[in-house]
Amino acid sequence: MKYIKAMYVVLTFFFTQHMYSQDDQKETAINYTIAYSSKEAGNGDIYVTNEEGTSKIKITDHPENDGYAAWSPDGKHIAAYAYHDGRKTWSIHTMNNNGTNRKRLTHAKNKWDSAPAWSPDGEKIVFGRAYNDTDGVWQEEIWIMNSDGSNQTQIKSLNGGGACFTPDGRIVFHSKTNTSEICISNIDGSNITKLTNNTTEDWHPEVSLDGEHIVFMSNRDGNHEIYTMHIDGSNQKRLTYNNTRDSTPTWSPDGSQIMYTSQDKEGKSHIYIMNSNGSSVKKFISNAGGQAWLKIYKQ
Closest CA to 6 of 171, 163, 213, 173: 213
User: What CATH number should be reported for the domain holding residue 278?
Assistant: 2.120.10.30
Burial class (CB in 10 A: 0-12, 13-18, 19+), 190: exposed
Domain membership of residue 128 (yes or no) is: yes
Q: What is the pLDDT of residue 150?
A: 98
Closest CA to 227 of 162, 261, 276, 267: 276
- pTM reported for the whole predicted model: 0.90
The region of weakest confidence among 4-13, 79-88, 98-107, 146-155 is: 4-13
Other Cβ atoms closer than 10 A to 284: 21
Closest CA to 12 of 116, 123, 98, 99: 98
Q: What sign for the dihedral angle of Cα 265, 269, 271, 277?
A: positive
Burial class (CB in 10 A: 0-12, 13-18, 19+), 197: exposed
Q: What is the pLDDT of residue 298?
A: 67
Helix (H, G, I), strand (E, B) or coil at 22: coil
Give the Cα separation of 257 and 116 in Å (integer).
22
Tell whether the model's pLDDT for residue 247 goes beyond 90. Answer: yes
Helix (H, G, I), strand (E, B) or coil at 124: strand
Phi first, then psi: what are they for 120, rounded to 5°? -60, -30
Domain membership of residue 9 (yes or no) is: no
Q: How many domains does the chain have?
A: 1
Across the chain, how many H-helices and E-strands are there? 0, 25
The HSE-up count of residue 117 (CA atoms within 13 Å, CB side) is 30
Each residue's pLDDT tens digit, 263-286: 998 889 999 999 999 999 999 999
Domain membership of residue 34 (yes or no) is: yes
Each residue's pLDDT tens digit, 120-166: 999 999 999 999 999 999 999 999 999 999 999 999 999 999 999 99
Q: What is the largest CA-CA distance in the chain?
A: 72
Q: Domain range holding 50?
A: 16-293
DSSP secondary structure code for residue 91 in this structure: E
Domain membership of residue 3 (yes or no) is: no
Average of pLDDT values for 115-119?
98
Give the Cα separation of 273 and 58 in Å (integer).
21
CB distance 46 to 57 below 8 Å: no
Q: Which residues are paired to 194 by β-bridges?
A: 183
CB distance 201 to 160 below 8 Å: no
Give the Cα separation of 48 and 90 in Å (integer).
22
Give the Cα separation of 241 and 31 in Å (integer).
32
